[in-house]
Amino acid sequence: MPLATVNGIALNYQVKGDRARGTDTKGAAPLVVLIMGTGSPGRVWELHQVPALLAAGYRVCTFDNRGIAPSFESTAGITIEDMVADTAALIELLDEGPALVAGTSMGARVAQELALARPDLVRKAVFLAGHARLDLFQKTLSEGEHELDASGVRLPAKYDAAITAVMNLSPATLAEPNAARDWLDLFEFTGGPVGPGVRAQRRMDHDFDRLQAYRGIRVPCLAIGFADDRMIPAYLSRELAEVIPGARYQEIPDAGHYGYLERPEAVNKVLLDFFSSSR
């Protein structure tokens, strides 16, 4: 991924097109910008969403949000306004806007605020596990994460993997022995201490309520909720769609917070159908 200076910081990004389809050059096809959630790099989209979008004839931009090295880690603190400005500056740098935009979890918040503040840069927007506010559970969980980060305590790897699985996967996935084993092994292998940039992302303001503000969004929007999501319950995603004029809502069954990884075929179909629709 190349590093670009946007909004006064270094941002690690990548743009892909399909050479066989003639979409590998600037402006050859509509650009989709994918915004990742807390603590994860942009390359996570490469597992399922990028291949599907390329096969459908789109160009795709993924990037590491501030807080995720080698992008600027912003250890002194991160605000949602920072991340919105980063994304807007990246789209302007690419000079291929207005873009189709999709984000998940924290990335959905960025996409929501971008659609509100810079509709000139957004053709359509999709919010996976989107939300205009958090309920008491999410706020308490966030405070607990902050305290755990500050304490320096490390959970045993297997226990940490189990907690990660319960919080981010559907019971339907965990009921399948092979799938459960694969996910638990992955979480155990990739777990451990998080860096200062990720901790800065985790410290972002969680006491917000943007329900009234989002009534001002005018670009076509789709909110996708995951039926078994414990991190961002589906009712919060449905609530988001209800306040945005003309927005659609789609719920994916048997999917947790990582629904775009658990049920990629279902998510990709909804995503592609919305992007290709007349509205």
CA 257 to chain centre: 10
- Confirm whether 257 is a catalytic residue: yes
- Confirm whether 229 is a catalytic residue: yes
Say how far apart CA 239 and CA 244 lie, in whole Å: 9
Q: E strands within the chain?
A: 3-6, 9-16, 31-35, 59-64, 99-104, 122-128, 221-226, 248-252
Smallest CA-to-CA distance from 62 within 48, 77, 76 is with 48
Say how far apart CA 248 and CA 164 lie, in whole Å: 30
Count CB-CB contacts under 10 A for residue 135. Answer: 12
| DSSP type of residue 175 | T
Residue 224, classed as helix, strand or coil, is strand
Residue 14, classed as helix, strand or coil, is strand
Residue type, 98: P
- The single residue of 74, 105, 142, 237 carrying the catalytic annotation is 105
HEC per residue, 96-122: CCCEEEEEECHHHHHHHHHHHHCHHHE
- The single residue of 18, 82, 228, 229 carrying the catalytic annotation is 229
- Phi, psi (deg, nearest 5) at residue 256: -100, -155
Catalytic residues: 105, 229, 257
